[in-house]
Structure 1
């Protein structure tokens, strides 16, 4: 694929205690970008127990910043987690620029809770565009695009005052940055149902809170049920050696040190018990029911939404005693067995294509290849999401939001009369939807309506999308006469129609009409 993001630099928190989730999701994105022809470089500070080796094992160069300073002046105001940077933001920005030397990235990806708009503005001088990866929404960003893959209520409102106008927002689990094995194993992930035969336990890292031990003790108490358990825990955990000794003679309980990927174990498991962090999206992609504990304040909103939607059972946070709550939930689930609807709900939320979507946005440009296909029933929810985007509603002649019921009736009607309506979806080469174009017959003319996906606005794709859609229509229906109606203030659409040699005229105070006859 032709790409315009030749060099991508990741400024990532690579400390083992805090940054594991950051590194893993950035590695997933870096893999996707390099598969499309980009060069990826990581810039990380040398915290104790850093993850440089993990990044380098995946084939990426790491430019190390000096180890954290013992004493440094904290700027005020500063992000809540400013201490995690290991120095003040100005020093970190200067050291990042120095480490990059003559590298001028097309995209600078920032995934660090201690970095905010001041740092990002400082790096503007050497980078083409900036992508922020965040899930706290607790500080301002000076970025061109932002990814928050988490499932939380009112996620768009969380960033309203934290990003510049015009920032491309990629919000929710559609943009979950998962390694490719989750997508490839998804086909094997049948909905779990009936008795629980295999449990996966993983709280990530060294688990200094002892949640793994508490979970194993609760599972050992379920001795009237026949099941196996896979327990993933770092050998550097204070509980590892004692648990290894205690479980050596316990049949069916297997203790694992760090594993390359949890994906194979997730596919094999019936239920997982763990933290409500980045593994939440991996579990959902593979349809794995879960019992979760929050280990950080920023996970509470995620856990609450997962629990509300029936995607996971949230039993509390790591600051409390989880034993009693866990035993109660385990007894309930083991006795009742798993309802397959739980797995099905999980599979509907994360499809494993988040990396493809983010790569498509970062690589979008006016000359990128686009394909045109007919809309199908599975596009209904996506088209409703696009239709109710605030900018789409502002440009519509009826600005009122569309209800799901209204949209369903409208959508089924359009699909049901192909002789009078052609509804197309434009896609990238990797199958990421870019927008929709609709042609509806009115006597001897066809009216054009179109909309770009919000994440692809401002990339010059409106005109090439219409060119390809019109060519597709003309192949199916030669000799058509087309027209489109546009609000006077919608200058972007007016310029596109003019560039496509449509003749425009005012048709009253509220609209322009553009026409072109393609009849031979």
Structure 2
């Protein structure tokens, strides 16, 4: 049987070329592992067409027909999807051999989330957001970023760095380029003597003969030489998208802006880890131009800070995500995947889980921190457990990692607008810093499957400092007096905390 992998993505003016760039990284890794590859999708941006041509990647279909039909027609064994809309068939329940193909999917947090045989989520919270999809293999976290081989080859080969590069993707879909250029030119020319850098703006308007007006800067059209331009740059000013992973691997310092909502997690993580200078959101670029330019000027004048930004970014990404993804395809096809490949997962409790959950509930330390501290009898637990499973207003979830069941999260509906949350950690999982992940996985499941509600409520014993700290880190805040009284928070031994469900 031919080893053909179809890569489904689009590259359009409204969505940019980031999805395509990631697919090119997958195509390189797949070819290196002996796969034939073909692209399925619309490629109507000049830069995208040049990248596809340069990669020698055949476009086998435009994506108009259902993807499973394209797979059937071409005999593909892998369907790899990097797309935010529902362009795929359901997950093949019988396994790839019976379905004829394996389904591979890239998601970015909550964007593009779908059940698949192999799921990759390189967002900072990918281990949590990928937990609610059904997958045989999950590859999660920034380390898994899909980076092209040409990017990795440039590591350690940077030449003279006499420019500041400004880039907002291959299309500037968010329209932030003029504001980014204004900040960069103000930074370079804003000191008494100026800084010894040329500002180069990668402008899609220049590619079609337009006159992009960026005073104090040189405009160039986007093209396949973008990596060379980045390697010659002291710093790149960019949006917090796909480009940041490539810059990190190349060792190029960056200043980033959150251009669109799906970049929020990456932006926060880059800034928090010291891997990029923060420029805020797109809306604030012009409003805060002078302050941002001063921050940028200070960094450009400090070689040590530039080096620190590059080192922190490089620590997040290793450039091997595409190779691991393709290796997972082969592992699934040959039946070599195991529970350890599943990463974090969430599943509804089933009748067979009753005894385990009773043992967790009656553990002495668990009881000591519970609202009700008495042991629960097996008969009382059995009646309660069957009632919970039958009640559509309650979600009792098991959360695990690999083959280990780590804890439970339970959500009980409180009217139309709220859910009460309760959490139990397996005794053997305590002391490992896992409770926050268990809670976050449960919240993700509720968001995906809960059926409405706008807030979460938790009741915690006053003396349970660990639980109060846990909920505080997760974004829960003290409830108002009315909510607190309604849920028993006026009891001297209880505190009520609330979080918006977003």
For normalisation by structure 1, the TM-score amounts to 0.58
Aligned to 1:345: 312
Give the distance between the partners of 1:25 and 1:229, measured in 2 at CA: 27
Structure 2 match to 1:400? 429
Residue 182 of structure 2: aligned partner? 214
Matches within 5 A, 1:139-150: 140-150=113-123
Report the CA distance between 1:285 and its aligned residue.
0.9
Do residues 20 (structure 1) and 17 (structure 2) align? yes
Asked if residue 299 in structure 1 is aligned to residue 263 in structure 2, the reply is: yes
The 5 Å alignment of 1:449-460 reads none
Deviation digits for residues 117-166 of structure 1 (CA, Å, limit 9, x no counterpart): 6566699886421011111424651211111123x2x33222333x11x4
Distance 1:205 1:42 in 2: 19
Deviations 1:233-268 (A, max 9, x none): 224579952438x55xxxxx5432122143333333
Specify the alignment match of 2:401 in structure 1: 390
Is it true that 1:160 corresponds to 2:131 in the alignment?
yes
Is residue 110 of structure 1 aligned with residue 121 of structure 2?
no
Say which SS state the counterpart of residue 304 (structure 2) adopts.
Answer: coil
Query: Structure 1 residue 225 and structure 2 residue 191: aligned?
Result: no
Partner of 2:232: 268
> C-alpha displacement at 1:332, in angstroms?
2.6
Change in Cα spacing, 1:109 to 1:202, as seen in structure 2 (3 Å) is: same
**Of the candidates 319, 322, 326, which is equivalent to residue 292 of structure 2?**
326
Tell me by how many angstroms 1:214 deviates.
1.9
- Give distance in 2, aligned partners of 1:217 and 1:335: 14
How large is the RMSD of aligned CA atoms in angstroms? 3.9
Q: Give the equivalent residue in structure 1 for 2:62.
A: 65
State the SS of the aligned residue for 1:364.
Answer: helix
CA distance in 2, matches of 1:233, 1:200: 11
The 1:139/1:257 distance shift into structure 2, 3 A limit, reads closer
Q: Partner of 2:420 in structure 1?
A: none
Cα distance, 1:50–1:189 mapped onto 2, change above 3 Å: closer
Aligned partner of 1:184 among 153, 156, 178: 153
Q: Deviations over 1:455-512 (max 9, x none)?
A: xxxxxxxxxxxxxxxxxxxxxxxxxxxxxxxxxxxxxxxxxxxxxxxxxxxxxxxxxx
Which structure would you say has the larger RCO, counting Cα contacts within 8 Å and 6 or more residues apart?
2
CA distance in 2, matches of 1:30, 1:116: 19
**Cα displacement (A) at 1:355:** 1.9
| Pair 53,7 (structure 1): closer, same or farther in 2 beyond 3 Å | same
| Residue aligned with 1:270, SS | strand
2:175 matched to 1:205? Answer: no
Tell me if structure 2 keeps the 8 A contact 1:32–1:356.
yes
Q: How far apart in 1 are the matches of 2:335 and 2:99?
A: 25
Q: Secondary structure at the match of 1:115?
A: coil
Secondary structure at 1:17's aligned position in 2?
Answer: coil
**Residues 1:130 and 2:103 aligned together:** yes
Secondary structure in structure 2 of the residue aligned to 1:302: helix
Conserved? CA contact 2:71–2:77, under 8 Å:
no
8 Å contact kept, 2:156–2:251: no
How far apart, CA to CA, are the structure 2 residues paired with 1:351 and 1:155?
16
Give distance in 1, aligned partners of 2:14 and 2:247: 22
Q: Any conservation in 1 of the 2:164–2:184 contact (CA below 8 Å)?
A: no
Query: Deviations along 1:49-84, whole A, 9 cap, x unmatched?
Result: 794554244212213337xxxxxxxxxxxxxxxxxx
Whole-angstrom CA distance in 2 between matches of 1:261 and 1:5: 34
Deviation string, structure 1 residues 202-250 (Cα, Å, up to 9, x no partner): 1123433323432343233345222233332224579952438x55xxx
Q: Secondary structure at the match of 1:177?
A: coil
Name the CA distance, whole Å, in 2 between partners of 1:48 and 1:180.
22
If the length of structure 2 is used for normalisation, what is the TM-score? 0.59
* Residue 97 (structure 1) shift: 4.4
In structure 2, C-alpha distance between the alignment counterparts of 1:117 and 1:98, rounded to whole Å: 10
Q: Deviations over 1:72-100 (max 9, x none)?
A: xxxxxxxxxxxxxxxxxxxx553x44545
Structure 1 pair 237–128 and aligned structure 2 pair: CA distance change class (3 A): same
Query: What is the distance in 2 between the residues matched to 1:299 and 1:60?
Result: 28
| Alignment CA distance shift 1:121-1:137 (3 Å) | farther
Superimposed CA distance per residue, residues 141-200 of structure 1 (whole angstroms, 9 cap, x where no aligned partner):
1211111123x2x33222333x11x4311112222111112222213369x9xxx85322
Shift in alpha-carbon separation, 1:97–1:168, aligned structure 2, 3 A: closer
* Runs (5+) with no aligned partner, structure 1: 67-91, 248-252, 370-384, 405-520
Q: Note closer, same or farther for the CA distance 1:398–1:239 as it changes in structure 2 (3 Å cut).
A: farther
